[in-house]
Structure 1
């Protein structure tokens, strides 16, 4: 043992905390994301940093297909893939947590190690390291084994995350029910943009329901929250709406029944909702709101204004108290319903947010698709802080026979 340092502690003991700190730092560089490819790259980068030479992940697929991935350093130093695979299999390195396996390349002595990527009995390939010069020491092999164990654990988490994300994605696609078809006397365009990159659908939704005598019910809603849970409740609201709307009630009574239904379910999330019943024969719309932002109307000159609507409580509160508002609507105008993600910015007053929408100018002859494209671009909806749903509608010349009762 070396002489004690000034504090009376042997130098060998003083070195232990330093080595542990270095080990923790090395391990922390691996598995910084839930991306399997990045984890493999971090593993080989750290392996080369610690022992030099070159490193790669030996990936094994179905029917004994194997290849190197995430190669770091000079690939010429690495043994051939068939040899690495045979050496790993010979020692059952891909089936169980074996120790590092030393072997030499053909024709010349070149030290190499194959460390299994295994965690909790789940094999994910191997870490292959090689270099010129001295063989790997037992301490280096042990260090590489710890790095590989860390990487294997994160690879397992990454694959499980991918599996669950796939299930969620399939379920979300199943929840993306298409809105109904409006009457032929109404042009409608709908756009939906969920917040974030991983979600396909959230709590925002749009719906159209054909009513009797050429009328169409236009609906936009916003369930509290995001992701799959909000999407499930969104689907429940849409299903209830379609059933209630079949009775051809005025919009404020539709909201009242939706509120009664939702409030009877303790787990149902509250939601805001705006309903517009469009009557082309009379050239008017009747609106009712459950805690939702007012709709916008674009006139024949491309100017935007907001239609005041009495605002009742959100759906699911059981409070009721919804009132209708009726306005004129002609074919030169475009009605736009939207969720708050289109206009709201964190920390900004909602009146200022709505003023920004009212300041958007449109081409006088813009169709419904052009209107939505313009409003999404001008309000930078790609960077919205919440889900965005937008519905635009325009009256046009009535198609003969389109006014009759729905069968």
Structure 2
């Protein structure tokens, strides 16, 4: 019957590790600082907890010439090894290892490895813990000689390194969850447009690790069936930009309630932002859509012009007088009015949709103008096409896109039509 001998190592950091007297079967575990640093550097290369465990067991197995695995709290089926590297047959039963680790966790005994006679199968348990936080146990086993003190000292270092990165990964996930909820709150559904307008909105953060930013879209109902469409971009990324974005958005809703023309809304937004020195500058584009008159009035504050897509799916940019970004206090915003019919789709967007690093902005906008939207049947399809054709999933900046289209009026009863 195979016997396992367990040692639970608590390193005596004050005592130097000496390789004197280490038997030949120590497999060359080095106590040189450079070699130890190299081994530690191979653990925790990502913020993925499972990847860190795999890196730990790979390094532990390589350093000891045995098999390594991580053991954590089991489910109803009982404890099970994770991230096994090597031959699983050389590991002790998971239930035995769990019991041994639990017993050792309550013991104040010496950390000297248990002496093993020839023919036995040794195993060592090392706590996966740091700063009072435990994340399981590193289990190592092999068919050969018992684990030596230099080996267990090195395993303890590797385990502590892994535990530190696991703690960091979990903290990152926790904060990301909070930030994600904040982002959803900050980018809550904008105000509902009038029923005579179809609107679709999409937000894309710059990368998988960036959850909040300063890009935003808004719609505000006005009198007489008109709707204000807004897209803005606060300088920078992260929570600070998101907080300022919320301030701009709140101010816009308040100012827009006075039913001012777009250029005067921008002027008041600029006055409000410039009075707060800590407020980050922002670009903004406002479009007031009037379905009754079939027209759109535009005003911009340092923002890219919108595109209009016709019934054939051809895109063209609408010229807009460019004023300074919000928060500069310079003012000087001017309106421009264009015809808009139900066959056309208005597309407002932030620069992340089109810009490429090192490319002239005119080239970037021209790439949008060359996109064929013929297959897009609705406003959601228009956004999907723009994001796909411009590869927005790999954008270098945050992306916010708003598409709007007038709804055709149903003919009134008795209404006379020209033929």
TM-score by length of 1: 0.88
Q: In the alignment, does 2:60 pair up with 1:47?
A: yes
Q: Normalising by the residue count of structure 2, what TM-score does the alignment of the two structures yield? A: 0.85
Q: Tell me if structure 2 keeps the 8 A contact 1:305–1:358.
A: yes
CA distance in 1, matches of 2:307, 2:31: 65
Query: Any idea what the Cα deviations from partners look like across 1:167-219, whole Å, max 9, x if unmatched?
Result: 22222222121011111111112122111013344211111111000111011
Q: Could you list the per-position Cα deviations for residues 148-179 of structure 1 after superposition, in whole angstroms to 9, with x for gaps in the alignment?
A: 12212222222222222222222222212101
The 3-state SS of whatever aligns with 2:145 is coil
User: Which residue in the other structure is 1:114 paired with?
Assistant: 125
Aligned-pair CA distance for 1:313: 0.8
CA shift in 2, pair 1:31/1:336, >3 Å: same
Residues 219-258 of structure 1 aligned to structure 2 (within 5 Å): 219-258=230-269
Equivalent position of 1:379 in the other structure: 390
The residue that corresponds to 1:28 in the other structure is 41
Deviations 1:58-110 (A, max 9, x none): 213699964321111111111112211221122217x9998376498xxx821
Cross-structure match for 1:139? 150
Q: Which residue of 2 aligns with 1:306?
A: 317
Partner SS state of residue 34, structure 2: helix
CA offsets, 1:333-367, max 9 Å, x none?
21111111111110000011111111222228732
5 Å matches for 1:6-405?
A: 19-60=32-73, 66-92=79-105, 99=111, 102=114, 109-363=120-374, 366-398=377-409
Contact kept in structure 2, 1:92 and 1:98, CA below 8 Å: no
Q: Aligned equivalents of 2:375 and 2:36: distance in 1?
A: 67
Once residues 65 and 230 of structure 1 are traced to their aligned partners in structure 2, the CA distance between those partners, rounded to angstroms, is 47
Q: Secondary structure at the match of 2:167?
A: helix
SS at match of 1:34: coil
**Cα drift, residue 21 of structure 1:** 2.1
Structure 1: which 5+ residue stretches go unaligned? 1-11, 402-407
Instruction: Assess, with a 3 A threshold, how the Cα gap between structure 1 residues 163 and 63 changes in structure 2: closer, same or farther.
Output: farther
